[in-house]
Amino acid sequence: MHICFITPEYVTEYYFSGGIAQTFHRIAKWLTLHNHEVDIIVASNINEDIIYEGTSVHRIAPRNSFLFAVLNKITFGRLSLTLGMLSFSYLAYKKIKTLSSQKIDIIQSVNYSFCGLFTLLFSSIPQVVRITSHRFLWTKFMFKKKKVDNIVIEFLESFYLHRIRYSFVPSLLLKEVFSKEASINHIRYIPTPFYIEETKLDNRIYKKEIEGKKYLLFFGRLEKKKGVHILAEALPEVFSKIPELHAVFIGRDMFLSERQTMKSYIIDQCKDFLGRLVIIGNLTHSQLYPCIKNAHLVVLPSLIDNFPNTLLESMGLGKAVLGTIGASFDEVIEDGVNGFLVPKDNVKALTEKIINIWGRSDLEQIGKNAAKKAQEYSPEKSVNQILEYYQDIIKKDSSKKLCH
């Protein structure tokens, strides 16, 4: 089968820090290894075609295009985000046309940034969308009032989703949300494919910044919807009650408010314990995995999430994870068996839970149970579900064309 992915993020790009890039990479790599042909079309800051780990990657720079420059000038830069996404969607469609002579069987995109919009409207190739998030939920945790740019993006993402015939989600939570908030009920549930990539580990960051410390770990974007501020507010009491505990944060720093970044907020909250606080920027998997493997506990206090890779990576590496109820973690974690759960957006509950967990003698066994649970999301199971869905879509699309 020949599959083409259209994505705003991929692991070839220096800026990627989210699950979209990593999930597409895991799926693409597995499909390529199993004799499927895969093309990746990704938003980039450069225009070029490359081969990355056996997969054809087509990098497109929408903001370098004449189309973006003209439209951005006409709108006085007020819709730059929208126009960047529209330009990428249009250029991806043009790229698909150059590839279609190779008979692409199906296109998969994501709802985020409506990147398959032009292909959906103007291409005859069947398309399926992996729903990765809902901007309606995101905006509940944003600090800014919506700008016109954001409102237009929300409208286009909604328009895109309501025009799509085939879509799937990696979490039951998101399936329920889209049913209630967007009245979209034809979405299929297919869990996120997961495996720990074989990679040569790079211990230098771990040895320099963390080695010798007994620490809890948060990794991912340092942003409000991930609940990082809740963890920051819980830490002073945790530090006071557990003298040997250190806290490590790894990920891209984001703004908590218009005037303050999350990193500075963490530092402000923990100002009396700065010697026990470590904050590191984005790391590659080869650098990140040693930091996860040596953590005493992984804490992921998300306010909303969609079956995050951070959860599966931690569990796959045999770590006990403390996650939140109502943010998709409870679809995987059984409290006290293969991880721990706590109510979201609750500083007191998170504080007490960390203190209660820290000294447990069975954390290693819980980590082993977590690793066993993570195996349920192996690509042999989940990617095969995706392939079956592809085949079903192609069959239905062919039947529809014959009827016409």
pTM, two decimal places: 0.91
Angle between helices 363-374 and 309-316 (to 10 degrees): 120
Measuring CA to CA, which residue among 45, 43, 41, 71 is closest to residue 57? 41
Res 138: pLDDT = 59
Residue 37 gets the label, from left (phi > 0), alpha (psi -120 to 50) or beta, of beta
Mean pLDDT, residues 293-320: 95
The domains found in the chain, sorted by start residue, are 2-193+378-403 (3.40.50.2000), 204-377 (3.40.50.2000)
Q: Could you report the per-residue pLDDT of 221-279, keeping only the tens digit for each?
A: 999 999 999 999 999 999 999 999 999 999 999 999 888 999 999 999 999 999 999 99
Separation between Cα atoms, residue 323 and residue 311, nearest integer Å: 8
Q: In what order do the strands lie in the sheet with 245-250?
A: 277-280, 245-250, 214-219, 297-299, 321-325, 340-343
Tokens of residue 240, six digits? 């006071």
DSSP per-residue string spanning 294-316: T-SEEE---SS-SS-HHHHHHHH
Q: Could you report the per-residue pLDDT of 207-218, keeping only the tens digit for each?
A: 999 999 999 999
Res 402: pLDDT = 59
Residue 201 gets the label, from left (phi > 0), alpha (psi -120 to 50) or beta, of beta
Res 179: pLDDT = 86
Total residue count of the chain as it appears in this document: 404
